[in-house]
Amino acid sequence: MTALRCRLCDGALEHRFSLRVLAKHDVSYLQCEQCRSLQTEPPYWLDEAYRDNNLSNLDTGAVQRNLQNLAACWSIAKLLRLKNVLDLGGGDGLLCRLLRDYGINCYVRDRYAKPTYAQGFENPDFATPELIVAFEVLEHYPQPRDDLDVVFNRGCQAVLVSTGIYTNQGSDWWYLAPEAGQHVFFYSRAALDQIARKYGYDLLVSGGYLLFVRTGKFGGVQLTLARLMLKSNARRWTKAMLVMRSADGVWKDHLQQVEKSKSARKV
């Protein structure tokens, strides 16, 4: 029997622990001796996981996370002057809709979901995105060595993602999420650095986000500011500013409607 190899770097694998996935499949979790990532055995249960398991039933923090991601995306897009954005694995399209509402030309793609909030924005009006965002997506990739090409081979200037970084956590790590069965690959920091080098990017890790920027494209001041703007305190400030800006727009619209109503009554 051929020994299993790492699905990212082809390194040798060693067994770490086993968990019951979808409450029915006993699955081995293996660590790569080369890139030090953790991965399940080849995930034969994915069709079942995506067919029968709606993550929205388990994910009660989705809306707040989208607001946090809005603040992060908007800040990076404005700082690096990137307008055309592609949201990969964007689910119901809420983040795409929010970004468009704040002047970012965003489109969404997701092979497993319909963009309820961003209908009509699935086919970009640009050939090459300037910024790709992919939040809580990379850990779903069953064959990351090939699947990551979809993210990084589009010629974009920056890629902003979030995923849990594997640092030798045990079988009780919440991010494994065996009850859903959709998280199948967990990247070490060494693996993420390897990915950046492979595709010609530099990697910044800040505030729970991973920002890949095209090597040599941006200045040191921009990258320092990007790191600061991704931190939680800065994101909270940006989110509050965006909410206030939206509220101000709604209030102005209301006043305009009142004035129109007054003018109509006078006539």
Q: Do 67 and 121 form a contact (C-beta atoms < 8 A)?
A: no
> Token digits for 126?
């640009």
Using the Cα atoms of residue 30, residue 36, residue 38 and residue 40 in order, give the sign of their dihedral. Answer: negative
* Range in 26-35, 208-217, 219-228, 247-256 the model is least confident about: 247-256
Classify strands 84-88 and 105-109 as parallel, antiparallel or unpaired.
parallel
| Mean pLDDT (the chain, rounded) | 89
Rounded alpha-carbon distances, angstroms, from residue 151 to 23, 196, 245, 246: 32, 12, 32, 31
Count of beta carbons in the 10 Å neighbourhood of residue 121: 21
pLDDT range class, residue 258, cuts 50, 70, 90: very low
Q: What is the distance between the alpha carbons of residues 106 and 85, in angstroms, rounded to a whole number? A: 5
State the pLDDT at residue 60.
59
State the pLDDT at residue 58.
54
- Ordered DSSP codes for 185-234: EE--HHHHHHHHHHHTEEEEEETTEEEEEETTTS-HHHHHHHHHHTSHHH
Classify strands 131-135 and 84-88 as parallel, antiparallel or unpaired.
parallel
State the pLDDT at residue 54.
52
Secondary structure element (H or E) that encloses residue 40, with its range:
strand 38-40
Buried b (16+ CB within 10 A) or exposed e, 127-137: eebbbbbbbbb
Residue 194: pLDDT above 50? yes
DSSP 56: G
pLDDT range class, residue 57, cuts 50, 70, 90: low
State the pLDDT at residue 120.
94
What's the predicted TM-score (pTM) here? Answer: 0.87
State the pLDDT at residue 64.
85
Q: Do 33 and 183 form a contact (C-beta atoms < 8 A)?
A: no
- Mean predicted confidence (pLDDT) in 36-61: 81
State the pLDDT at residue 101.
93
Residue 196: pLDDT above 90? yes
Query: What percentage of residues in the chain have a pLDDT greater than 90?
Result: 78
Query: Bigger pLDDT: 191 or 54?
Result: 191
- Mean predicted confidence (pLDDT) in 39-43: 98
Residue 112: pLDDT above 90? no
State the pLDDT at residue 167.
98
Domains of the chain: 61-240 (3.40.50.150)
Rounded alpha-carbon distances, angstroms, from residue 109 to 153, 179, 206, 234, 237: 16, 25, 25, 28, 29
pLDDT range class, residue 257, cuts 50, 70, 90: low
pLDDT digits (tens, 9 = 90+) for 197-245: 999 999 999 999 999 999 999 999 999 999 999 998 888 778 777 876 6
Q: Do 158 and 114 form a contact (C-beta atoms < 8 A)?
A: no
